[in-house]
Amino acid sequence: MKPRTLLLLALGALVFLLGFVFLRGPTPHIAIAAEELTKVGPVKITNTMITSWCVVALTAAFFLLAVRKWSLVPHGLQNFVEAGLEAFYNLVVNVAGEKNGRRFFPVVATIFLYVVISNWLSLTPIYNSIGWVGHDEDPHKQIEEHGFVEGIIFDDTGLGDIRIIPLSGLGNLRITSDKNKIEAGEPEGPQKYQKAVQDGKFVGELIPLFRGSNTDLNTPLALAIASAIAVEFWGISSLGLFSYGKKFFNFTTPINAFVGLLELVSELVRLVSFTFRLFGNMFAGEVVILMFTFLTPLVITLPFYGLEIFVGLIQAFIFSMLTLVFGVMAVTHGDHGAEEHAAAPSHTAAEPAPAPEAAH
């Protein structure tokens, strides 16, 4: 075996050992529903809502910074932004044509930017690692029934109610058991809980302040509804309400009525496919990264980070391009009708002059 290969293997083993000893997190608490942080009247504020607002604010700040000193000869950040937007605009125009491309571009580009930035930001270390301590069950009831509270043992950070996921170390090397967590039915649970309370620590599950917005089913559903509204608006504005409605409600013949019903069902099915495609991919990726961070940080987790960067980009591209394609399908019939009308002979054209009579 070559010395370089041996060196790489030794380096990999060292990184694995360092990650296993110092960077392992406790067993993650995985929940499908977004965690509620607070309430404003009857409105629940969840961590995915906070993340969505941050994504919108960061995106707006980035583009405001990029156009702050706009010049005819682009350079620096302006050059990067112009190149990216021009490439995406040309793609949209190539699919939809110049006229429709200009109409579709703002919606399609907004969807793409929101989804890809949300997906990539969710890979940063502050996601799912900083938050507050919560409980799946009433802690007083748990103490009465078991003598302790189940969950992760958190240190006091000195930042009020904010907690940070504890990592492993030489003094807390967990191989067969998780010393930073009190499990249900654990014989030493009462002793561990009493010691944690005496040390001024907190026991419970982390309610993360930041969580990937697309791992909440409500966010992909909202994007799917916005996409559907845009597509229907494009179709109605191009064809007219009644002409576009005949696509779904055409009772001239039984076959047309049945085809219209299928079209209506397909429009509704798009909402489901849009929603669960994005949600499923993003939620599964988050679970994989959380589990490998607990099992073998660094060595196996890093390749999955690279995979999730690619998946996040692909999912954003698919969502936006499907919106574009469905928009083109909604207005295509109208474009064909306009072309046929333009090609038809005009009824107001002057009649040709009669042929002169032959000279006698």
Same domain, 156 and 261: no
Q: Tens digit of pLDDT for each residue in 321-344?
A: 999 999 999 998 644 443 443 344
Instruction: Give the DSSP letter string of 1-62.
Output: --HHHHHHHHHHHHHHHHHHHHSPPPPP---SSPPEEEEETTEEEEHHHHHHHHHHHHHHHH
Helix and strand counts by DSSP (H, E) for the chain: 9, 7
Distance between CA atoms of 153 and 232, rounded to whole angstroms? Answer: 51
User: Which residue's entry shows tokens 């029934």?
Assistant: 145
Q: Residue 45: inside a domain, yes or no?
A: no
Distance between CA atoms of 290 and 297, rounded to whole angstroms? Answer: 9
Average pLDDT of span 187-201: 88
User: Which residue's entry shows tokens 């996409």?
Assistant: 227
Same domain, 199 and 112: no
Residue 260 has pLDDT above 90, yes or no: no
Residue 104: phi, psi to the nearest 5?
-80, -25
* C-beta separation of 282 from 312 below 8 A: yes
Same domain, 145 and 117: no
Q: Residue 349: inside a domain, yes or no?
A: no
Kindly report the average pLDDT of the chain as a whole number.
84
Same domain, 218 and 204: no
Same domain, 138 and 257: no
Task: Output the pLDDT for position 356.
Answer: 45
Q: Residue 160: inside a domain, yes or no?
A: yes
Q: Residue 356: inside a domain, yes or no?
A: no
Same domain, 202 and 219: no
Same domain, 98 and 223: yes
Count the neighbouring beta carbons within 10 Å of the beta carbon of residue 215. 29
Same domain, 183 and 200: yes
DSSP 170: G
Q: How far is CA 72 from the centre of its chain?
A: 35
What distance, in Å, lies between the first and last C-alpha atoms of the chain?
A: 111
Distance between CA atoms of 73 and 79, rounded to whole angstroms? Answer: 8
Residue 19 has pLDDT above 80, yes or no: no
Which of 185-189, 201-205, 222-226 is the least confident region? 185-189
Distance between CA atoms of 169 and 166, rounded to whole angstroms? Answer: 10
Q: Residue 241: inside a domain, yes or no?
A: yes
Average pLDDT of span 218-229: 95
Q: Domain end: 179, 209, 239, which one?
A: 209
Domain count, the chain: 2
Same domain, 276 and 302: yes
Residue 351 has pLDDT above 50, yes or no: no
Same domain, 284 and 251: yes
Domain span at 302: 50-67+76-125+214-333
* C-beta separation of 120 from 309 below 8 A: yes
Does an H or E element contain 162, and which? none
* C-beta separation of 227 from 274 below 8 A: yes
Q: Each residue of 88-121: b (16+ CB within 10 Å) or e? A: beebbbebbbeebbebbbebbbebbbbbbbbbbb
Count the neighbouring beta carbons within 10 Å of the beta carbon of residue 48. 25
- Percentage of residues in the chain having pLDDT higher than 90: 35
Q: Domain end: 150, 177, 209, which one?
A: 209
Supply 225's token pair.
């509804």
Same domain, 193 and 329: no
Same domain, 96 and 154: no
Residue 81 has pLDDT above 90, yes or no: no
Q: Residue 43: inside a domain, yes or no?
A: no
Distance between CA atoms of 88 and 75, rounded to whole angstroms? Answer: 19
Q: Residue 155: inside a domain, yes or no?
A: yes
Average pLDDT of span 48-58: 94
Q: Residue 341: inside a domain, yes or no?
A: no
